[in-house]
Amino acid sequence: MRYEVTLGDRRVRVELSDNGRFTVDDHAVAANVRETVRGRQWSIRLEGQSHEVTVVTHDPLRLDIGGRDVRATVIDERALRAGRGSGAARVGRVEIRAPMPGLLKAVHVKEGDHVAADAPLATLEAMKMENELLAPSAGRIAKVRATAGTKVEAGAVLIVIARD
């Protein structure tokens, strides 16, 4: 299966074969991938370097790669052939989900607020560390589904943004 992957401002073609080998831009890559939290976090050893990757939000896709917030897209070859994934901005709603279980320390917005991209929305404490959840795009806060002081599970919808 082939994919077009964008990480930040870098775009690459990734091909995964049935035998577990893969190529990046037609170059064979040595890698070891281990899922550490089902569907949420992976430990990846790529060309001798280790990387911890955590899904922060799914729509739009944001990843935490070694402590760095990275916007990403992944489009498979079937979608490319069908003409989807042109990169045009989608309108609609964005769900901000808890990337891991923890204590919601603060909610910085209320329903009806307008936020800019990368504006702080909430602070989640997990494993004695505070993680600031940022707006992936500009929009209006349509729904706040959790309050400060609430314990949340990984994947729980915390805030819904209606895109501008």
Q: Is 79 helix (H, G, I), strand (E, B) or coil?
A: helix
- Which pLDDT does position 141 carry in this prediction? 95
- Which pLDDT does position 20 carry in this prediction? 64
Residue extents of the structural domains in the chain: 2-81, 93-163
- Which pLDDT does position 106 carry in this prediction? 96
- Which pLDDT does position 86 carry in this prediction? 39
Could you report the per-residue pLDDT of 35-91, keeping only the tens digit for each?
A: 887 778 888 887 788 888 888 887 778 888 888 888 888 877 665 555 444 343 445
Task: Point out which residues pair with 126 in neighbouring strands.
Answer: 129
What mean pLDDT comes out for the span 132-155? 90
Give the separation between CA 79 and CA 3, rounded to whole angstroms.
9
Structure tokens at 82: 């069908």
Of 4-8, 47-51, 142-146, give the range with the top mean pLDDT: 142-146
Model-level pTM greater than 0.75? Answer: no
- Which pLDDT does position 3 carry in this prediction? 81
Give the separation between CA 45 and CA 24, rounded to whole angstroms.
15
Statement: 93-163 belongs to CATH 2.40.50.100: yes
Could you report the per-residue pLDDT of 93-135, keeping only the tens digit for each?
A: 888 888 888 999 999 999 999 999 889 999 999 888 888 888 8
CATH of domain 2-81: 3.30.700.30
Q: Is 38 helix (H, G, I), strand (E, B) or coil?
A: coil
Q: Which residue has the tokens 């050893």?
A: 45
